[in-house]
Amino acid sequence: QVQLVQSGAEVKKPGASVKVSCKASGYTFSSYYMHWVRQAPGQGLEWMGIINPTAGSTSYAQKLQGRVTMTRDTSTSTVYMELSSLRSEDTAVYYCAREMDSSGYLGYWGQGTLVTVSS
Amino acid sequence: EIVLTQSPGTLSLSPGERATLSCRASQSVSSNYLAWYQQKPGQAPRLLIYGASSRATGIPDRFSGSGSGTDFTLTISRLEPEDFAVYYCQQYGSSPYTFGQGTKLEIK
């Protein structure tokens, strides 16, 4: 069965960077695009970007351009999301989510990783 | 960027009642690429509907989606206790793949 297992919670200081991992299993890693979505406490869902696991190409939300980097390691079927220059507004649960097919809707989700930015 | 506006913000209903949730887009959603998700506290979102009206695998038939262009609706025909949650729409027709702000369905 498809599983997306994310790394554990992080506490970071403002200005630092965080790198969250998402290890995929139960399917052919290169066949499906992966997205990152975040959710601030008590708030809605925010789409962050997408990575093509085959080519490594990415597309990011404009709001995060310049601060977010998504990468993948095909040898371990893992995708990564790194966010730099952290500020308090980046405190959120970060989810990786896999497309169901090539259309873009998200059928499989990781368990979420809480990133807390606090001095 | 396509902005999705969901209404109402909160919907208070009783089990057995019918729920109608709206999602309006600021411009036409390409190919009606509109999905609905359900989220319960402390859990990841769960896909309910894709392509505006197709139910995802394992989703009960009391959930249905409709609409096209800029106006979309999620209907829950007879509410079960486990349906009380927050619902989000998302368009995936054009990047960025934006979400609505959510509708909280609460027990009256």
Cα maximum dimension of chain B: 38
DSSP states along B25-66: ESSPPGGG-EEEEEE-TTS--EEEEETTTEEPTT--TTEEEE
A114 touches chain B (CB under 8 A): no
Contact list, B88 vs chain A (CB under 8 Å): 44-45
Confidence band of B65 (pLDDT split at 50, 70, 90) = very high
Q: Return the pLDDT at B66.
A: 98
Q: Average pLDDT, whole number, for chain B?
A: 97
SS3 category, A30? helix
Question: Per residue in A61-75, pLDDT tens?
Answer: 999 999 999 999 999
Question: Per residue in A84-119, pLDDT tens?
Answer: 999 999 999 999 999 998 788 999 999 999 999 999
Work out the average pLDDT over A5-19: 98
Whether B92 and A62 lie within 8 Å, measured CB to CB: no
Classify strands A113-117 and A10-12 as parallel, antiparallel or unpaired: parallel
The beta-strand segments (E) located in A1-119 are 3-6, 10-12, 18-25, 34-39, 45-51, 58-60, 68-73, 78-83, 92-99, 106-109, 113-117
B9 touches chain A (CB under 8 A): no
Q: Return the pLDDT at A102.
A: 77
